[in-house]
Amino acid sequence: MDSILVTGGGPLSGTIPIAGAKNACLTLMPATLLSDEPLTLTNAPRLSDIRTMTSLLESLGAEVSSLSDGLVIAMSSHALNGARADYDIVRKMRASILVLGPLLARLGEAVVSLPGGCAIGARPVDLHLKALEAMGAELDLRDGYVHAKAPKGGLRGGTFEFPFVSVGATENALMAATLARGTTVLKNAAREPEIVDLGHCLQAMGAQIDGLGTSTITIEGVDRLHGATHRVVTDRIELGSYMVAPLIAGGEVTCAGGRRDLLEAFCQKLEAAGAEITESDAGLTVRRAGERMRAVDVTTEPFPGFPTDLQAQMMAMLCTAEGASHLEEKIFENRFMHAPELIRMGAHVDVRGGSAHVIGTDRLRGAQVMATDLRASFSLILAGLAAEGTTKVGRVYHLDRGYERVVQKLSGVGAQIARVSDDG
């Protein structure tokens, strides 16, 4: 296992390239299953989760080629050899459940392992299943697998209102509906940019979709989808993660490719805390207006609200801000695991259920800490940039799931950071 060493130091300066969105790519890749023609993705991120999704698609008989140093993923599903997504792959990555809708729509059947929970919560898939049932799917849960069957003649259009917003369930339903006979209406659908990006790709493949980016998405099913080439949208979570770096360490950083419309609520919150954010053709340039950031309160919500995937990074910044902040995590039931690790660095954080109270300090100290989940791991690196001395972040395999080339990107703007093997 590897660790990352980061030493608090001077201000940062320079440009950080932002990659394509992991959470868009993980739903764009299963979309290849909807067509027997090639689907090619450009601006793909180089991440372990992408490699896991590649293995899953190949286990179903799809051909997946990684080209141009991983930036291009060329896929073809003309000859699928089965409709079973095994537990040993699905348990590694919850997004594997996103092959369920496409397989059901294309082959009329699917056997997909239930993903199981993860560190941040139980993360059930009941809404994925209910939405597919609204299109006529018959689902039987046994032996830890979803056994799904479409009606004779295939899925049919239906109307489904999500009781609360679910990104993945919206994605599964959207993909399945593109080949369902008739009209499907998804109400209280997720509005995340990754959903819009998936919708644009499906439209390029010939799907008939209206309402992308709104809470009501209407899909007219078509008989088949053709191939396409699609550029993966910029990763707004990687973007937001790096925007915090100069606010914690000082200096000025430009996040290349960053667009404010991808995370407007987050930008407003950063500005309320004392950030200066400038948008230009180069991307988003971020600096601290004063010597220290100010405390602000944060509540996570579905898009366009404050993203849950940036809550841990925001907490790290608030741990160094002037004053007391209050954070409410409304999306997942256990997403404050970074707090005890930040406390080891001298942060003042009091967690009670889904709420966290932070009192900022300018005296974080380097310590040995442990990454518990993907976004928590990045928040510990951010805290290390502000801490006195060196912080050692263990279990960075979490980081590799969602962030590429972190050491290169941060050292490129002057951070003192290195990756070391724990195997001596």
Task: Identify which range of 3-11, 51-59, 69-77, 126-134 contacts ligand EPZ by CB under 6 A.
Answer: 126-134
Query: Under 8 Å CB-to-CB from 386, ≥6 apart: which residues?
Result: 8, 248, 249, 320, 364
Helix (H) or strand (E) holding 25: helix 22-28
- Distance, in Å, from the CA atom of 94 to the CA atom of 128, rounded to the nearest integer, reads 12
Determine which residue in the list 16, 60, 132, 169 makes contact with ligand EPZ, applying CB under 6 A.
169
- Distance, in Å, from the CA atom of 181 to the CA atom of 168, rounded to the nearest integer, reads 22
402 binds ligand EPZ (CB under 6 A): yes
The amino acid occupying position 306 is F
Q: What is the DSSP letter of 268?
A: H
Task: Identify which range of 61-69, 116-124, 221-229, 346-354 contacts ligand EPZ by CB under 6 A.
Answer: 116-124
372 binds ligand EPZ (CB under 6 A): no
Determine which residue in the list 238, 309, 341, 404 makes contact with ligand EPZ, applying CB under 6 A.
309
313 binds ligand EPZ (CB under 6 A): no
Nearest to 48 by CA among 397, 421, 415, 411: 397
Determine which residue in the list 32, 166, 178, 254 makes contact with ligand EPZ, applying CB under 6 A.
166
Residue 415 sits at the vertex; the CA angle it makes with 327 and 235, to the nearest 5 degrees, is 55
Residue number, nearest CB to ligand EPZ: 168
Determine which residue in the list 191, 375, 395, 398 makes contact with ligand EPZ, applying CB under 6 A.
375
- Which listed residue (118, 201, 255, 319) is catalytic? 118
Determine which residue in the list 81, 88, 126, 282 makes contact with ligand EPZ, applying CB under 6 A.
126
The amino acid occupying position 342 is L
Answer yes or no: 319 catalytic.
no
51 binds ligand EPZ (CB under 6 A): no
Nearer to ligand EPZ, 100 or 103 (CB): 100
127 binds ligand EPZ (CB under 6 A): yes
Q: CB of 182: closest distance to ligand EPZ in angstroms? A: 24
Contact 146, 98 (CB under 8 A): no
**Cα-flanking dihedrals φ and ψ of residue 138, to 5°?**
-105, 125
Q: CB of 8: closest distance to ligand EPZ in angstroms? A: 25
20 binds ligand EPZ (CB under 6 A): no
Residue 214 sits at the vertex; the CA angle it makes with 208 and 220, to the nearest 5 degrees, is 20
The set of long-range contacts for 170-173, using a CB threshold of 8 Å and a minimum separation of 24, is: 170/131, 170/195, 170/217, 171/27, 171/98, 171/101, 171/195, 171/198, 172/97, 172/98, 172/100, 172/101, 172/128, 172/131, 172/132, 173/101, 173/128, 173/131, 173/132, 173/134, 173/135
Please list every residue from 317 through 346 that binds ligand EPZ, using CB under 6 A: 331-332
389 binds ligand EPZ (CB under 6 A): no
23 binds ligand EPZ (CB under 6 A): yes
**Inter-CA distances, 33 with 181, 218, 270, Å:** 18, 21, 40
Q: CB of 292: closest distance to ligand EPZ in angstroms? A: 28
35 binds ligand EPZ (CB under 6 A): no
What is the side-by-side strand order in the sheet with 138-142?
A: 84-85, 109-113, 145-149, 138-142
Q: CB of 251: closest distance to ligand EPZ in angstroms? A: 26
Please list every residue from 191 through 210 that binds ligand EPZ, using CB under 6 A: none
Q: CB of 309: closest distance to ligand EPZ in angstroms? A: 4
**Inter-CA distances, 93 with 98, 214, 409, Å:** 10, 28, 25
Catalytic residues: 118
**Chain residues in the site for ligand EPZ (CB under 6 A):** 23, 26, 94-95, 121, 123-128, 166-169, 308-309, 331-332, 374-375, 402
